[in-house]
Amino acid sequence: MTVAIRSAGLGKQYRSGWALRDCNLQIPAGRICALVGPNGAGKTTLLRLALGLLKPSTGDISVFGWSPTTNATLVLARVGYVPQDRPLYRRFTVDEMLHLGRRLNPRWDQEVAAGRLRRLDIPLDRQVGQLSGGQQAQVSLALALGKRPDLLLLDEPVSNLDPLARRQFLSELVQVVAADGLTVVLSSHVVAELERVCDHLVILNSGRVQVMGEIEALLELHKLVIAPSLDPAQVARDQTVVQATHTERQSALLVKVGGKPVRSDWETHSVSLEDMVLAYLGNPSVSTLPAPALEEVAG
């Protein structure tokens, strides 16, 4: 397994405090990884560390084995980045934005960038500021893809987009990844759309990695248990309870299935990605990370 991003003991301290602490992370290559967490969880900080826009305060991070700070040009040439709020030079035409990409990137592929926008009927001679939000997002994506990156970092790429533009953007993204096999890390605080798009999940909470793993495996691992109102301690003996909701008559528990099977007389349901993520975000004391031993074998 090739690892796209690996970090060990990674931390970043700003004047206002720690944005990221003791972050041990492995994002395998060729996946679309969702980086999820509430605002201020450290998602942007992590992406900017991976790009070398920030220097770590503690620990280190590598991208395809390269340090983004000591091998800045190498990493910058291989990593496409769409920053938060998708900034563009608003007075440039689309064509001029692509020209910027051509001038500043050694591996630039004009056809990849311009062809994509033409297919989407985005006029290349229009000023960027006059495009719709969805079209601007596509220009940002084209600019990042024109670099022919091995890794694509997207910081809240669909925020402030209407639902249709959101869906278009994400389906474009899936097509590209399917065709080129590049690695994508996509940060978001909205989970709803991600299930269709992503196959790997990292939950950041208050600057720490809380959950990391394959989405499919994680969903299999978690169950919603509905049982007659009962003592949660009874469940907690065998399973890890991530979230518990009690009413007078029954309890709904989102549990991480442990070694022992759930009692057969209890009703169990599979969970959605969104339910699972929200359960974890509401309970920072529970975490699910690959065991270090397994990592060794996998690596």
**Min CB(259)–other proteins separation in Å:** 44
- Interface pattern 108-137 for other proteins (x via CB under 8 A): x-----------------------------
Residue 107 found at the interface with other proteins (CB under 8 A) = yes
Find the DSSP H helices in 120-271.
133-145, 163-180, 194-197, 215-221, 232-236
**Min CB(253)–other proteins separation in Å:** 41
Distance, in Å, from the CA atom of 289 to the CA atom of 280, rounded to the nearest integer, reads: 12
- For the four alpha carbons of 4, 7, 12 and 18, in that order, the dihedral sign comes to positive
Whichever of 95 and 214 has its CB closer to other proteins, that residue is 95
Whichever of 144 and 279 has its CB closer to other proteins, that residue is 144
User: What are residue 7's phi and psi, to 5 degrees?
Assistant: -135, 150
DSSP 249: S
Piece of 90-98, 175-183, 230-238, 277-285 that binds other proteins (CB under 8 A): 90-98
Piece of 77-85, 181-189, 199-207, 209-217 that binds other proteins (CB under 8 A): 77-85
The counts of H helices and E strands in the chain are 11, 13
Piece of 91-99, 117-125, 255-263, 286-294 that binds other proteins (CB under 8 A): 91-99
Residue 5 found at the interface with other proteins (CB under 8 A) = no
Distance, in Å, from the CA atom of 247 to the CA atom of 216, rounded to the nearest integer, reads: 30
Residue 90 sits at the vertex; the CA angle it makes with 86 and 95, to the nearest 5 degrees, is: 95
Site residues (CB under 8 A) for other proteins? 14, 48, 51, 53-54, 72-73, 76-77, 79-81, 83-85, 87-90, 92, 96, 99-101, 103-108, 143, 147
